[in-house]
Structure 1
Amino acid sequence: MEQDSHHHQRWEGKVSARLRNVTKAQAWPLVKDFFNLHKRFPTLATCYGLHGSNGDPGCIRYCAGFSIPSNGPESVSWSKERLLAVDDVDFWLKYEIVESNIGFNSYESTMKVTSDDDDDDDDESNGCMLEWSFAVDPVKGLELEELVGKYHVALQVMAQKMEEEIQSLVSGILNNT
Structure 2
Amino acid sequence: MAAQEQAKWEGKATAKLKGVRAEQVWPLLEDFCSFDKWIPTIDTCHQVEGVKGQPGLVRYCASTPLNTDDESKNSMTKWCHEKLIAIDPILRCLIYEVLENNMGIKSYIGTIKLLDDDDTFGCQIEWSFLADPVDGLSFQDLSSYLNFTLQGMAENMERALQIK
Unaligned runs of 5+ in 1: 170-177
Deviation digits for residues 113-137 of structure 1 (CA, Å, limit 9, x no counterpart): 01224xx7xxxx6100000001110
* Alignment of 1:167 onto 2:162: yes
Structure with more helix by fraction = 1
Tell me the CA shift for residue 14 of structure 1: 0.2
Q: Summarize the alignment of residues 1-177 of structure 1 with structure 2, pairs less than 5 Å apart.
A: 1-5=1-5, 8-65=6-63, 67=65, 72-117=73-118, 126-169=121-164
Q: TM-score, normalised by structure 1?
A: 0.84
Deviation digits for residues 36-62 of structure 1 (CA, Å, limit 9, x no counterpart): 100001111100000122221110000
CA distance in 2, matches of 1:65, 1:168: 27
Tell me the CA shift for residue 32 of structure 1: 0.7
User: Residues 9 and 93 (structure 1 numbering): CA distance in 2 closer, same or farther, change over 3 Å?
Assistant: same
Percent of paired sites with the same residue: 40
Q: TM-score, normalised by structure 2?
A: 0.91
CA distance in 2, matches of 1:104, 1:34: 20
- Deviating runs (4+, > 2 A) in structure 1? 69-74
Secondary structure in 2 matching 1:167? helix
CA distance in 2, matches of 1:4, 1:71: 32
Tell me the CA shift for residue 4 of structure 1: 3.2
User: Residues 110 and 2 (structure 1 numbering): CA distance in 2 closer, same or farther, change over 3 Å?
Assistant: same
Counterpart residue identity of residue 85, structure 1 = A
User: Residues 51 and 157 (structure 1 numbering): CA distance in 2 closer, same or farther, change over 3 Å?
Assistant: same
